């Protein structure tokens, strides 16, 4: 599990002592050596138990509208030689290196920061939904309250305050690891060096920056599923509380 | 089979029924404008007048459903405060007002019989921006790689052909007194609807993956409906029907076909989850969102028709009687 102390180890070493560890730079986005980070996340699926703590922590931290998600953990039941087993697949914005959501925006409201975080300027977005259509990972939605595009920000407000993303901080199994892939000493760099990692939908050419350890081949791209939760959900019809939300 | 999904989350459609209405109205508006210009060249200004009036009504109506589909419509000026040339939608934000403005001004010039030189430039602008609008509406959807039902060669072709058929159909519904002009429009309708039918068949039948994808969220009955009632029927009525009534029926069927195609493809494509665990519930015909877009768009078309009629009956004669207008202008 990444703790803030583990995360800062690299910076501490470079700052040269415990004094610096006690008074680190308030923003994780401004490393002591002045380099520009490239943020990424590693999902260690061997450790994910599908508890949805990250889903809830994200919603709480970012005030995500009830019923919408910036991240969630789909759970599949897949066949193996030992019979059916559950497979967790935490999903979120991949903060892609080649994000198709950005060039389609007609008002330049969606953009990528120098450290790789894909963000939406909520004051500029007209809520046209074009970026929602363009994201191959369904990582965006239109927020009911603001009428603008909403998505994972890697909790940029927390990074600026020297904290880790809420989902990482809360993950009980330590399955979510966040860090700077330009720092060879970071936890993510070490995991990427030591493990065979995969990205989702590599054929989309988006170069995602969320990496998975232990991702089953059958979950990498289009997942072939038979009637499960989605089919049940579809059969149930519209959510009963939709009207309540729209009236609120 | 890989397995089954044990968790599902609900997601909303990003483009609501207003988008279907916009794509229908703007496609028909451009097609009517192209028909007006073709009839003017082939049959003269008087024969082209009904088509130009229909184009003006539809062009005036189109921005309403477009704005209504934005979730922050009051911010529409943001489209013009910066340049986003990589976005097809940004180009559309310039092409649409250019088309609306040139169509309305060309209609005004035609109604008053004045500004002959400017009228030619305006009609040229109307045709140019109209072709741009057809290109952007087809391109905007076709470039979205994440939506395989749009991102292929067949969808933009059928979208454009149904737009052409619906525009010719809208003019036939309004009525074309010039018989030769009406015949030309019927031929245009039959040609575009027939070509649309062939393109739809080739697109879906030639590619098993596409057919599987289409059938996953669009029942055969929906696609059959588009093909039979929306494309084959208007083509046959336009080809073999006689008289104004059958021309109007052909027109209604062509407009219905364009609407049904857009509805099927916009809801079908958006209902397809790209992560296989999200549930998208397509809007039903009786949903408030659907009814709002239908009544809103129909109301706007009615209002635009009144405005264009006022232009024709009151404003244009007043302008013709203006100080520069001579006796010839009165007779025009
Ligand atoms: S995952 Fe989707 S929203 Fe996130 S950067 Fe990639 S394309 Fe954009
Ligand atoms: S919804 Fe907002 S961020 Fe997305 S493309 Fe439209 S204006 Fe840009």
Q: Is B67 in the A-facing interface, judged by CB distances under 8 Å? A: no
CATH fold group of domain B14-143+290-320: Formate dehydrogenase/DMSO reductase fold (1.20.1630)
- Asked if residue A75 belongs to a domain, the reply is yes
pLDDT at B100 over 50: yes
Q: Can you read off the two tokens belonging to residue A107? A: 């008002």
pLDDT at B54 over 90: yes
The closest CB to that of B84, out of A100, A105, A219, belongs to: A105
Instruction: Record the pTM.
Output: 0.90
pLDDT in tens, B264-317: 999 988 988 877 778 888 888 888 999 999 999 999 999 999 999 999 888 888
| Closest residue of chain B to A224, computed from CA coordinates | B2
What residues does each domain of chain B span? 14-143+290-320, 156-276
CB proximity under 8 Å: A 77-106 to B: 77-79, 84, 86-87, 91, 100, 103-106
Please tell me the total count of domains within chain A.
1
Kindly give the number of the ligand 1 atom that is closest to the alpha carbon of A100: 7
User: Once rounded to an integer, what is the mean pLDDT over residues B111-129?
Assistant: 92
Long-range contacts of B234-243 (CB under 8 A, 24+ apart): B234/B165, B234/B169, B234/B189, B234/B190, B234/B193, B235/B189, B235/B190, B235/B193, B235/B194, B235/B197, B236/B190, B238/B172, B238/B186, B238/B187, B238/B189, B238/B190, B238/B193, B239/B186, B239/B190, B241/B186
Complex ipTM: 0.91
Those residues of chain A that have pLDDT short of 70 are 1-25, 238-248
Stronger pLDDT, B262 or A236, i.e. the higher one: B262
pLDDT in tens, A82-126: 888 899 999 999 999 999 999 999 999 999 999 999 999 999 999
- Mean per-residue pLDDT of chain B: 91
CB proximity under 8 Å: B 145-164 to A: 145-147
pLDDT at B326 over 50: no
* A241–chain B nearest CA distance, Å: 12
- Residue A24 pLDDT: 53
pLDDT in tens, B129-179: 999 999 999 999 999 999 999 999 999 999 999 999 999 999 999 999 999
- Asked if residue A98 belongs to a domain, the reply is yes
CB contact under 8 A, A223 and B81: no
Chain A residue numbers with beta carbons less than 8 Å from the beta carbon of B278 are 138, 230
The closest CB to that of B70, out of A127, A146, A228, belongs to: A127
Domain that holds residue A42: 28-236
Q: Is B82 in the A-facing interface, judged by CB distances under 8 Å? A: yes
Atom 4 in ligand 1: which residue has the minimum CA distance? A93
Number of helices (H) and strands (E), helices first, in chain A? 10, 11
CB proximity under 8 Å: A 134-193 to B: 134-138, 141-142, 146-148
CATH code for the domain in which residue A143 is found:
3.30.70.20
């Amino acid at each position: 599990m990444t703790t803030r102390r583990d995360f800062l180890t690299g910076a501490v070493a470079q700052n040269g002592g415990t004094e610096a560890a006690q008074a680190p730079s308030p923003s994780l986005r401004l490393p002591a050596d002045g380099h520009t980070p490239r943020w990424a996340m590693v999902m260690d699926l061997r450790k994910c138990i599908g508890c949805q703590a990250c889903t809830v922590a994200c919603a709480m931290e970012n005030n995500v509208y009830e019923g919408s998600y910036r991240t969630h953990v789909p759970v599949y039941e897949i066949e193996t030689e030992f019979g059916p087993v559950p497979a967790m697949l935490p999903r979120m914005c991949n903060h892609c290196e080649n994000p198709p959501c950005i060039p389609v925006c007609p008002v330049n409201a969606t953009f990528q920061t120098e450290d790789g975080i894909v963000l939406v300027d909520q004051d500029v977005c007209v809520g046209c939904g074009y970026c929602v259509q363009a994201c191959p990972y369904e990582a965006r939605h239109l927020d009911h309250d603001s009428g603008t595009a909403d998505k994972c920000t890697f909790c940029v407000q927390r990074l600026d305050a020297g904290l880790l993303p809420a989902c990482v901080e809360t993950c009980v199994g330590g399955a979510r690891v966040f860090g700077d892939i330009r720092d060879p000493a970071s936890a993510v760099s070490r995991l990427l060096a030591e493990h065979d990692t995969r990205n989702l939908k590599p054929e989309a050419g988006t170069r995602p920056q969320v990496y998975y350890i232990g991702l089953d081949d059958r979950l990498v791209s289009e997942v072939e599923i038979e009637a499960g939760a989605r089919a049940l959900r579809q059969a149930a019809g519209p959510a009963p509380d939709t009207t309540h939300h729209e009236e609120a | 089979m890989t397995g089954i999904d044990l968790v599902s989350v609900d997601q909303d459609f990003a483009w609501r029924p207003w988008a279907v209405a916009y794509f229908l109205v703007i496609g028909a508006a451009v097609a009517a404008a192209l028909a007006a210009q073709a009839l003017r060249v082939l049959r003269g200004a008087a024969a082209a007048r009904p088509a130009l009036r229909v184009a003006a009504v539809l062009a005036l109506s189109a921005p309403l459903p477009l704005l209504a589909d934005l979730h922050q419509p009051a911010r529409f000026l943001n489209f013009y405060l910066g340049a986003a040339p990589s976005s097809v939608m940004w180009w559309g934000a310039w092409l649409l007002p250019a088309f609306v403005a040139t169509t309305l001004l060309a209609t005004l010039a035609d109604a008053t019989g004045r500004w002959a030189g400017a009228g030619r430039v305006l009609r040229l602008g109307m045709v140019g921006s109209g072709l741009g609008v057809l290109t952007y509406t087809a391109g905007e959807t076709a470039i979205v790689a994440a939506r395989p039902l749009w991102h292929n060669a067949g969808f933009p072709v059928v979208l454009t052909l149904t737009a052409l058929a619906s525009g010719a159909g809208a003019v036939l519904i309004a009525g074309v007194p010039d018989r030769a002009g009406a015949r030309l429009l019927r031929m245009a309708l039959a040609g575009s609807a027939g070509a649309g039918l062939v393109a739809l068949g080739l697109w879906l039948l030639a590619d098993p993956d596409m057919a599987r994808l289409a059938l996953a969220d669009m029942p055969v009955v929906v696609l059959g409906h588009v093909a039979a009632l929306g494309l084959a029927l208007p083509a046959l009525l336009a080809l073999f029907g006689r008289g104004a009534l059958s021309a109007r029926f052909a027109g209604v069927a062509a407009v219905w076909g364009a609407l049904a195609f857009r509805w099927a493809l916009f809801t079908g494509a958006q209902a397809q989850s790209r992560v296989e665990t999200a549930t998208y519930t397509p809007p039903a015909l009786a949903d408030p969102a659907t009814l709002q877009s239908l009544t809103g768009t129909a109301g706007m078309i009615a209002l635009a028709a009144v405005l264009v009629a006022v232009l024709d009956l009151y404003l244009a004669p007043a302008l013709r009687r203006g100080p520069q207008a001579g006796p010839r202008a009165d007779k025009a």
